[in-house]
Amino acid sequence: METIVFSLLNGIIYGLLLFMLSSGLTLIFSMMGVLNFAHASFYMLGAYFAYTVMGATNYWVALILAPIIVGVVGMGVERWGLRRVHANGHVAELLFTFGLAYLIDEIVKIVWGRTSVNYQVPDALNFPLFTIYNAQYSAYRIFILFVAIFMLCALWYLLKKTRAGLIIQAALTHPHMVGHLGHNVPAIFMGVFGAGCALAGLAGVIGGNYFITDPAMAVQMGPIVFVVVVVGGLGSLEGAFVAAMLIGLLQTFAISINASFADIFGFLGLSPTSEFGSITIASMAPMLPFLLLVLILIVRPTGLMGDREV
């Protein structure tokens, strides 16, 4: 029972953090039709900006300011980089974001050093909130949960219930029509790109001090975010949400399962000492998202809720 409760809590938090990252990516994909390889780099920038801002002021200022700075950087990238490259087609855009990821990586190493920075959870949130089954649950984890849910609701409201969201959605699917109606489509795209980056930045602000803030965080987070977006269906926000939760829960549940293949397939004569039989489910946890990716691509190439082929 306690295993289930813990795995549920941890899985939901990890899933929400993944969603925060992938929602921006999937928004940008709907717009450009191309995956933004540098997306995880904006996540990293969020953490580093927050670290710097927190050093000068405090965490709460950083929580607001850092995502905004990341968003502004993102808008700049769109305005002076991607928009020019766009004329040369999708491959050029893809290569541009690919190069940008490396560029940001190197810049971060030059500015903040090659090793991790001491970006700490603020004291006001650094206490155990409650204790279940002898394990304390830190207030910061619950804070992550609330920030993510707040962001989720805000995003949903903005896109589905406001006029601005209506225009954005229209511009994503029918840019020419929206342009003819008198809206400034390039400005909308710039805004969407900036907002997507800001979301990644926000994930960095709340994830960076919970995990670790170092120049490798983008590279480590990159693949899993792509898995979420592809499994969920490219360009589908609902899909990204379902996929992020699925992967978050899958990974945390797998870690808590001690059974090995021999325990499961023992009836087939698999011995617990054999190479294959001794593999435990827990040790396979990091592989599961990628297994899911392969399976989804075979069974349902559009992803769980997407409407276009990868």
Which residues make up the interface to another protein (CB under 8 A)? 2-3, 6-7, 10, 14, 109, 113-116, 118, 128, 131, 133-138, 140-141, 210-212, 214-216, 219-220, 252, 255-256, 258, 282-283, 286
Q: With b meaning 16 or more CB within 10 Å and e meaning fewer, what string describes 177-186?
A: ebeeeebebe
Residues 302 and 90: their CA atoms lie apart, in Å, by 19
Nearer to another protein, 84 or 114 (CB): 114
| Min dist. Cβ of residue 58 to another protein (A) | 19
Nearer to another protein, 3 or 184 (CB): 3
Q: What is the DSSP letter of 115?
A: S
| Min dist. Cβ of residue 220 to another protein (A) | 7
Nearer to another protein, 80 or 133 (CB): 133
| Min dist. Cβ of residue 186 to another protein (A) | 37
Nearer to another protein, 18 or 185 (CB): 18
Contacts of 229 (CB under 8 A, 6+ apart): 22, 25, 26, 29, 35, 240, 243
| Min dist. Cβ of residue 136 to another protein (A) | 3
Q: How far is CA 209 from CA 27, 56, 165, 190, 254, in A?
A: 26, 16, 32, 29, 25
Nearer to another protein, 138 or 169 (CB): 138
Nearer to another protein, 89 or 128 (CB): 128
Q: DSSP characters for 99-111? A: HHHHHHHHHHHHH
Contact 231, 243 (CB under 8 A): yes
| Min dist. Cβ of residue 110 to another protein (A) | 12
Contact 64, 8 (CB under 8 A): no
3-state SS record for 40-65:
HHHHHHHHHHHHHHHHHCCHHHHHHH
| Residue showing tokens 């489509």 | 185
| Min dist. Cβ of residue 44 to another protein (A) | 13
Nearer to another protein, 169 or 256 (CB): 256
Helix residue ranges, H only, 118-232:
139-161, 163-173, 175-180, 185-208, 217-232
| Min dist. Cβ of residue 50 to another protein (A) | 17
